[in-house]
Amino acid sequence: MNILDIGIDIVEIGRIKNALKNNDNFLKKLFTEKEIELFKEKGYAPEIIAGNFAAKEAISKSLGLGIRGYDLKNIEILRDKLGKPIVKTHNNLEKICENYNVLEIKVSISHGKDYAVANAMTIIKDK
Ligand SMILES: CC(C)(COP(=O)(O)OP(=O)(O)OC[C@H]1O[C@@H](n2cnc3c(N)ncnc32)[C@H](O)[C@@H]1OP(=O)(O)O)[C@@H](O)C(=O)NCCC(=O)NCCS
């Protein structure tokens, strides 16, 4: 087991509030159906949505790629029974992760009144 890299991101919750108000397609463009179900369960709380968005960007950095060769909907961040974020990859990103020998992507999310932050770590197999 080895660490490929780590990543971090910070998101202004106000920007998410504006996007929710002004762009009908915002959620569908960036989040999977299961993530949108999660947001619904949480009353579409902007800090939860901001946290998931920050987590996706943090993950993109922990791969060393940024958002390249895949899109944000290829990253899905759900929660386990205790509330811990769980990362799944889909489509192009699933293939990229196979090529990189990724075992697991870990992410941690936090939010205050104005900002949400996330950090991520990508774990790969030993060579
Ligand atoms: C990498 C990326 C996720 C950064 O997100 P952002 O919201 O723009 O900026 P942030 O402030 O969160 O992060 C910037 C930091 O990301 C880090 N970063 C940049 N590229 C990175 C990469 N490939 N892997 C890991 N970290 C990276 C750098 O440390 C940068 O800080 P610096 O400019 O002081 O060195 C984003 O720019 C991206 O996906 N870029 C690739 C695709 C692209 O170029 N799109 C532009 C339109 S085509």
| CA distance readout (Å), 106 to 22, 28, 74, 87, 127 | 32, 24, 15, 7, 20
**Is 80 exceeded by the pLDDT of residue 127?**
no
Mean pLDDT value across residues 46-67: 98
Average pLDDT, the chain: 97
* Model confidence pLDDT, tens digit, residues 19-41: 999 998 999 999 999 999 999 99
- Which comes out higher in pLDDT, residue 1 or 93? 93
**Residues pairing with 67 in the sheet:** none
Burial group, residue 53, by CB count within 10 angstroms (0-12, 13-18, 19+): buried
Q: How far apart are CA 102 and CA 44, in angstroms?
A: 31
Counting ligand 1 atoms within 8 A of each CB, the residue from 6, 8, 15, 60 with the most, and so the one to mutate, is 60
**What is the pLDDT, as a whole number, of residue 79?**
98
- CB neighbourhood size of 57 (10 A): 20
**What is the pLDDT, as a whole number, of residue 1?**
87
User: Which atom of ligand 1 lies at the shortest distance from residue 8's CA?
Assistant: 12
* Model confidence pLDDT, tens digit, residues 73-101: 999 999 999 999 999 999 999 999 999 99
What is the pTM (predicted TM-score) of this model? 0.95
| Atom 26 (ligand 1) nearest CA | 61
| Atom 12 (ligand 1) nearest CA | 9
